[in-house]
Amino acid sequence: MPKNKTHSGAKKRFRVTGSGKVMREQAGHVHKFHEKTPQKARALSMDILVSKNDLKKVKKLLGR
């Protein structure tokens, strides 16, 4: 039986914490910072939890 492979796109976009929570980066934090206030840019830079509705699919893509 072949090994399961982690989805390459998912492993670049999600990370799993030590307690098993799945984190993602927030949308809108990569470019166009000249249009955002420094406070908004800082707030967007923090990772947040993946929503409960998407959690099962994301964990499957990560091979967990």
Give tens-digit pLDDT for 1-51.
Answer: 888 999 999 999 999 999 999 999 999 998 999 999 999 999 999 999 999
Does 2 reside within a domain? no
pTM value surpassing 0.85: no
Range of the domain at 42: 8-61
User: Shortest CA distance to 59 belongs to which of 32, 2, 28, 21?
Assistant: 21
Overall domain count for the chain? 1
* Interval 45-59 mean pLDDT: 96
Does 3 reside within a domain? no
Does 22 reside within a domain? yes
Which domain CATH number covers 55? 4.10.410.60
Does 1 reside within a domain? no
Quote the pLDDT of residue 1.
Answer: 83
Question: Is the separation of the CB atoms in 15 and 23 below 8 Å?
Answer: yes
